[in-house]
Chain A
Amino acid sequence: MSKYEKNTAPDVKWQDITLAADVFEGGTSAAIETGDWRTIKPVIDWDKCKQCLLCAPACPDMSIPVMADGKRGDFDYFFCKGCGICANACPFGAITMVK
């Protein structure tokens, strides 16, 4: 938990939240799991993947990490909402959507 994080329960008093509801850090939404929205999930077949990386920029949830060696990693299922854009963007059919 962030040191700037405050109680935001519905009964919280305004004096107990940050002044003007400021947020003092960047990228804190990374603590929120949006993967539980998913009804179908993408699965990659590493034998078919040619590392063209065309899937990675088309992801709305930053769920396709590109590693320091320039290769894509496995899906970040913590954020992936299962929209299926990556499966359609893949020219080699390496990504399939499964229940």
Chain B
Amino acid sequence: MAYNLKENLMQGDRLSGGHRFCAGCGSPIAIRTVLRALNPEDQAVICSATGCAEVSTFIYPYTAWKDSFIHNAFENAGATMSGVETAYRALKKRGKIDETYKFIAFGGDGGTYDIGFQSLSGAMERGHDMVYVCYDNEAYMNTGIQRSSSTPMFADTTTTPQGKVVPGKQQNKKDLTKIMVAHGIPYVAQSTFISNFKDLSEKAHKAIYTPGAAFLNVMAPCPRGWRYPSEKMMEVTKAAVETCVWPLYEVIEGKYTINYRPKEKKPVEEYLKMQGRFAHMFKPGNEWMIETVQKHIDAKWEDLQNLAEIK
């Protein structure tokens, strides 16, 4: 079915207002878009690794989720969901459940790239019929902007403060999307918020309705941690895509497809200059940092284009 923004919005949201995410947070936008990709007649079971999403949406005795939601610890969102999915399959086989249920796990980058990585890897390897959605805000934002393995190089965080000696985080961002591709699962995609949300919405629909395990990596900017004014959200994600810092691509059964190629690849400064966490890179004498990042992004983009050409 072709994507239609109006119809997509008319079916209503499965996340309720009154949640306590910060003003201008990217993760509720990612969550509500993913949940709208469910067919309205289907039920969902959702769990979330500890992080902003869990503490903001589920403060007893209130829940922002209109579907079933399970609390679990930081490291086992993948394991929780695979257990629920297995129980569902067993009950379905015995004819005890008639409705169709879909299984979605949400995790921030801390709960996905680092702490929940082992249970995510296990769930993907066992091939449960579930989707793991990572809303990637590139640090441990819930506890106060500590670096994670998803934090990009030179970003200023509270555990990698930039100064005279250390230029912010000294390592590159882990490429989790490609690690998930290496698990050989049927569907892996990387997306973010662009114009009418067609890209994210279609990928979420494919991920949910592809039989077997699927992984979705969604860049969800954090105005507090990235230090940009909250109203600039859509500009930041657009710059990330136009500079190829966050390319939009999907991998179906190991076959790479780039969903959006910028007409003119913008220099990486366009993305970096919007954010306070990279402000030190624009100080005199620090030009080498921007060059290093540009070189890294170019190499990654080249690599991705080569992968997409393999038939």
Contacts and interface: CB of A to CB of B under 8 A. Distances in A.
Given A26-B63, A53-B5, A61 B17 contact: yes
Given A29-B16, A62-B17, A84-B24, A57 B197 contact: yes
B9 A57 contact: yes
Contacts of A70: 6-7, 10
Contact of A23 (B15, B23, B24, B60): B60
Contact of B17 (A5, A6, A29, A88): A29
A70 B259 CA distance: 28
B62 A85 contact: no
Contact of B57 (A17, A29, A82): A29
Contacts of A60: 21, 23-26, 28-29
B89 interface: no
A15 interface: no
B196 interface: yes
B11 to A, nearest CB: 9
Q: Which of B7, B24, B59 has the most CB of A within 10 A?
A: B24
A87 B66 contact: no
Interface in B130-189: none
Q: Which label, helix, strand, loop or mixed, suits the secondary structure of the A interface?
A: loop
Contacts of B17: 29-30, 34, 61-63, 76, 78-79
Contacts of B193: 57-58
Interface stretch (B111-119, B225-233, B241-249): B225-233
Given A32-B62, A84-B231, A87-B231, A79 B195 contact: no
B19 interface: yes
A54 interface: yes
A98 interface: no
B209 interface: no
Interface of B: 5-10, 13, 15-26, 28-29, 32-33, 57-68, 193, 195-197, 223, 229-235
Interface residues of A, number: 46
Q: Which of A38, A66, A89 has the most CB of B within 10 A?
A: A66
Nearest to A4: B61
Contacts, number: 136
Contacts of A37: 23
Contacts of B62: 23, 28-29, 31-32
Contacts of A23: 58, 60-63
Contacts of A81: 22-24
A68 interface: yes
Interface string A1-45: 000111010000000011001010111111111100110000000
Instruction: Give the 10 A-B residue pairs with the shortest CB-CB distance, closest first.
Output: A84-B231, A83-B24, A79-B17, A81-B23, A29-B18, A32-B18, A27-B16, A26-B66, A83-B23, A66-B9
A58 B29 contact: yes
Nearest to A61: B17
A29 B64 contact: yes
B19 A89 contact: no
B231 A88 contact: yes
A34 B25 CA distance: 14
Nearest to B9: A66
Nearest to A54: B196
Contacts of A53: 5-6, 9, 196
A59 interface: yes
